[in-house]
Amino acid sequence: MRRIIKMREMSDNQGGIVKRITATGDMGRRLREMGLVPETVIKIQGRAPLKDPVAVKLRDFVLTLRNDEASNIFVEVDVPETDGLRD
């Protein structure tokens, strides 16, 4: 099953596809200039000890973003399906 979440909510080593950028003005322009455009495949490489910033791999480079920037990027990710069984 696929779901759209904010990049900020992604886990380490989780991959996904950028679906939309909600940032406007200078921030929106800057994110797009760095290659974060719809249909770009990304993967979370890791986070700083205090969870900010986040390292994101896209194309052939790693980009670091603050959480306030990552909150403006919506990504489609795979979510494991449950089989309905509970412990």
pLDDT at position 1 is 86
C-alpha Rg value of the chain to the nearest Å: 14
| CATH classification (class only), 2-78 | mainly beta
At residue 51, the pLDDT reads 83
Mean pLDDT per 10-residue interval, the chain, length 87 residues: 92 94 94 93 92 92 93 91 62
How far is Cα 51 from Cα 41, in angstroms, rounded to an integer?
22
Provide CB contacts within 8 A for 41, sequence distance 6+. Answer: 15, 16, 17, 58
Q: Global pTM?
A: 0.84
